[in-house]
Amino acid sequence: MTLWVTIPLLLLIVVTALSAILMRDLIGAVFILGCYSFLLALLWAWFGAADVGFTEAVVGAGLSTVFFLLALFLTTPRETRTHHHQISWPGVIVLVTSGLLLLASMEDLPVLGDLLSPANARVSPDYLLRSIQETRTPSVVASIIMDYRSMDTIVETAVIFTAGIACRFLLRKD
Amino acid sequence: MIHPHDSPIVRHLSRVLIPFLQLFAVYVVVHGQYSPGGGFVGGVVFGTSLILGLLAFGTGQGQGQGLAHTVAFRWEGVGLLLLAGVGTLCLIGGAEFLNYHALLLPGMEASARRWTGILLAQIGVGIDVAATAVAIFFSLSLFNERDDDHA
């Protein structure tokens, strides 16, 4: 049952990723990248990572598409089309080797939903047991990122703040 | 300055759509403790609803046209300050920075204090992210306009 959903989804993700790279027209490539993000969000939602899927759908398919389009409108029409598709062989070798290395190291990863994997055996039960009692928050993801790991969150927010300020100084009017 | 969109269809649809988008964004932020989502996602939805409004209706003319720009940059700081302020209230309460256990709110149990701390932090993150989205949008679109002026 799961395979009938995940395999077509994964195939569509690979196809959209490849066509975003190979597309000549960059504005078209931006929209295909949005489709890619949306399919990725569906895949994550299917695996139960609702928060990640939600974020991917909103940021990847929504906001970053708008920013990519605005950035493309800043360039001249000549620059929004890519012309040469020469294959660089050192790049191909690096890509294939790193892909094979990643596939080889995949065997060491725990199986999805494995109760004995380190994350599921030690950290997760602790948070799952303590969240309601200590913070009255049923959504454990929210209590982890906003309470138990709030220091990470404030630094991430500072990074977003810095990105906004940096854009203003890089692209200011005067 | 951003001009209003020419098409009446776009303007009327935006007028219908934007209130629902913003209501959904606020729901996602304040309901983040009970469902997927939270400050970051809700903030992005709110920011995109504001961008949609700016694209459909423009920034207006004359005195007020730079106002939205300045307001966006100010609220960026407000969001971060709200988050840091909650952390500082915990410091004053006698615990570590951002340890909501010691949040300085009288008449509350420890778990209720942490619940409130999470909610305030979500709102802070949401404000910061929404303002940053609008601010980056302004930076990109006003840069575009400068090129038009010179050309």
The beta strands (E) that lie in A36-94 are given as: none
pLDDT in tens, A59-92: 999 899 999 998 888 877 666 666 666 778 898 9
Mean pLDDT of the region A120-132: 87
Nearest by CB: A151 against B45, B80, B98: B98
Output the CA angle A26-A78-A31, nearest 5 degrees.
15
Q: How many structural domains are present in chain B?
A: 1
d(CA B118, CA B124): 10
Token digits for B138? 């302004």
- Evaluate whether residue B96 is within a structural domain: yes
Complex-level ipTM: 0.86
Residues 6+ apart with CB under 8 A from B106: none
What's residue B150's pLDDT? 45
Give which of B54, B140, B146 to mutate to test A binding, by max A Cβ within 10 Å.
B140
- Evaluate whether residue B89 is within a structural domain: yes
A129 touches chain B (CB under 8 A): no
**Distances in Å between the alpha carbon of A151 and those of A128, B47, B96?**
20, 24, 10
Mean pLDDT of the region A104-118: 85
Backbone angles phi, psi at B98, to 5 degrees: 70, 15
pLDDT > 50? residue A110:
yes
Q: How close B23 comes to chain A (CA, Å)?
A: 16
- Evaluate whether residue B56 is within a structural domain: yes
The helix/strand/coil state of A24 is coil
- Evaluate whether residue B109 is within a structural domain: yes
* A-to-B residue pairs, Cβ atoms closer than 8 angstroms: 149
- Evaluate whether residue B1 is within a structural domain: no
A168 touches chain B (CB under 8 A): yes
B21 touches chain A (CB under 8 A): no
Below-50 pLDDT ranges, chain B = 146-147, 149-151
Give which of B51, B76, B119 to mutate to test A binding, by max A Cβ within 10 Å.
B76
- Evaluate whether residue B3 is within a structural domain: no
Backbone angles phi, psi at A81, to 5 degrees: -120, 135
Backbone angles phi, psi at A25, to 5 degrees: -85, 120
Which residues on neighbouring strands pair with residue A81, listed in sequence order? Answer: A25
In a 13 Å sphere around the CA of B33, the CA atoms on its Cβ side amount to: 21
pLDDT in tens, B111-123: 888 999 999 999 9
Percent of chain A with pLDDT over 70: 93
User: What domain range includes position B32?
Assistant: 8-150
Mean pLDDT of the region A10-39: 92
B46 touches chain A (CB under 8 A): no
The helix/strand count (H/E) of chain A reads as 9, 0
Residues 6+ apart with CB under 8 A from B109: none
Q: How close A90 comes to chain B (CA, Å)?
A: 36
